[in-house]
């Protein structure tokens, strides 16, 4: 297919940003994982499946392992060719392996055990669990980079004072670093949560009751045996299911990624506002254009791009969580096409990550603007005044200061005059006179350095 015919920007515009995820969720890799599962299951049956299965010699195990490791682009194309006839993807993998075993005089006697006692959903369940497991590793690695970069700026900018705003109005001061730290801690919480989420798979046959395995040997505890098999892939077993694993684990991951996306959307929007208010400037890049008609513009495009792509990821993740956890009776096939798109949800979030990191690299605090904004808003010290007055025993302190400051813009002189005229002790007045909008920071600097 020509590049101009690719419908998704993930496949062209953003392809270089999501290479690891694209490889992981590709159909070729899905078939490779199915291929490996089928071969490992054959080895497992003949090694630990009981007396009804022929034993494998060390040489045959070695040959099967060599076959498993031989999967390449040619193998992927052959499977797709078989699927064109069978119209069944898992069965195509089975037939491909059977054809390969027939080529070996020592392995062809095991051909009938390929896909033995399995439903395609057993293979798919484990396959998608493996893809999810590996995707989480890729995703968390990039999330850790964002957390690290934000934390670096939290510490570097820890003591740069800024006017905070609540409801968009001037409020008690903070520091640029502390505001960065808020997002660090929020992301760390979700990262730690995502790390605990383990992919689940089932291996219980057509309706989840291990029928075919039990009939092959009723003396074996097949739930325990299949649990061991799944564990060899670092995947946990869901032992009691219908024909499908109900995908609650995928929903948990999807919801967690939504929370990550929402935290970063919140961050992007805050940074956008800071840039609009000139608290941050953007480093210029040679050759970049901000507007096709206004040459002066330097736009916060990276944060805007990130916001859009994170929103697309949210739409996908919300749908996955809602759709995949519902199935008619034992199963219906509507989940199959949805599962094929799991990588899309991850990828749009991943593109959002890349844009955040690119935007962060361009940010530089405008310290002069931050100080000027604080110096023009001495009324924000009204909070401190009424607290000191209460410490002096004035229980109506809030009401007194509200009358003197609400809707009023104070400067250094009018603030000093207000303090001087208060009916409080000289010690309290001295305490208030030492305050300025740039040093009334509470523990903001300490918090930024946590």
User: Catalytic amino acids?
Assistant: 167, 291
Contact of 223 with 239, CB cutoff 8 Å: yes
Q: Which residue has the tokens 């055990």?
A: 113
The dihedral sign for the CA sequence 294, 298, 303, 306: positive
The rounded distance, in Å, linking the Cα atoms of 448 and 450 is: 6
Query: How far apart, in whole angstroms, are the C-alpha atoms of residue 99 and residue 111?
Result: 8
Question: How many whole angstroms separate alpha carbon 397 and alpha carbon 399?
Answer: 6
CA distances from 272 to 87, 122, 269, 360 (A): 50, 47, 5, 12
- Cα separation, 150 vs 450, whole angstroms: 13
Phi and psi at residue 160, in whole multiples of 5°? Answer: -85, 110
DSSP code string of 342-353: HHHHHHHHHHHH
Q: What b/e string do you get for 314-328 counting C-beta neighbours within 10 Å, with b at 16 or more?
A: bebbeebbeebbebe
Rounded CA-CA distance 260/190 in Å is: 6
Place of tokens 């098999």: 229
Residue carrying the six token digits 């900018």: 157
Instruction: Give the separation between CA 223 and CA 26, rounded to whole angstroms.
Output: 31
Question: Contact at 8 Å (CB) between 159 and 371?
Answer: no
């Amino acid at each position: 297919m020509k590049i101009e015919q690719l419908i998704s920007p993930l496949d062209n515009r953003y392809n270089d940003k999501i290479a690891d995820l694209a490889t992981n969720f590709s159909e070729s890799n899905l078939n490779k994982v199915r291929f490996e599962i089928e071969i490992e299951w054959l080895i497992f049956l003949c090694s630990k499946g009981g007396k009804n299965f022929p034993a494998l010699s060390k040489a045959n195990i070695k040959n099967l392992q060599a076959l498993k490791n031989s999967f390449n682009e040619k193998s992927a194309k052959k499977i797709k060719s078989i699927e064109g006839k069978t119209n069944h993807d898992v069965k195509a993998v089975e037939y491909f392996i059977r054809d390969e075993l027939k080529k070996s005089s020592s392995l062809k006697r095991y051909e009938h055990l390929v896909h033995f006692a399995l439903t395609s959903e057993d293979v798919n369940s484990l396959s998608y669990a493996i893809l999810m497991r590996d995707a989480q590793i890729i995703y968390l690695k990039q999330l850790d980079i964002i957390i690290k970069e934000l934390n670096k700026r939290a510490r570097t900018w820890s003591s740069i004072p800024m006017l905070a705003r609540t409801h968009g109005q001037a409020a008690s001061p903070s520091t640029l670093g502390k505001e960065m730290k808020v997002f660090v801690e929020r992301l760390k919480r979700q990262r730690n949560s995502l790390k605990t989420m383990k992919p689940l798979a089932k291996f219980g046959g057509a309706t989840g009751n291990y029928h075919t395995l039990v009939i092959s040997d009723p003396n074996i505890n097949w739930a325990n045996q299949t649990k061991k098999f799944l564990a060899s892939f670092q995947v946990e077993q869901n032992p009691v299911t219908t024909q499908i694993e109900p995908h609650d684990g995928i929903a948990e991951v999807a919801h967690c990624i939504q929370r990550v996306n929402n935290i970063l959307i919140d961050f992007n929007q805050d940074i956008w506002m800071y840039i609009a208010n000139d608290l941050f400037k953007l480093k210029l890049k040679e050759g970049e254009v901000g507007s096709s008609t206004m040459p002066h513009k330097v736009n916060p495009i990276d944060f805007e791009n990130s916001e859009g792509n994170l929103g697309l990821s949210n739409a996908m993740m919300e749908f996955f969580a809602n759709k995949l956890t519902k199935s008619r009776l034992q199963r219906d096939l509507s989940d199959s096409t949805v599962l094929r798109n799991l990588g899309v949800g991850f990828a749009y979030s991943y593109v959002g990550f890349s844009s955040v990191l690119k935007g962060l690299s361009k940010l530089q605090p405008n310290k002069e603007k931050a100080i000027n904004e604080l110096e023009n808003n001495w009324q924000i010290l009204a909070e401190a005044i009424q607290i000191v007055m209460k410490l002096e025993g004035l229980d109506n302190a809030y009401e007194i200061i509200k009358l003197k400051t609400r809707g009023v813009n104070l400067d250094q002189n009018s603030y000093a005059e207000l303090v001087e005229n208060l009916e409080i002790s000289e010690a309290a007045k001295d305490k208030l006179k030492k305050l300025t909008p740039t040093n009334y920071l509470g523990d903001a600097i300490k918090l930024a350095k946590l």
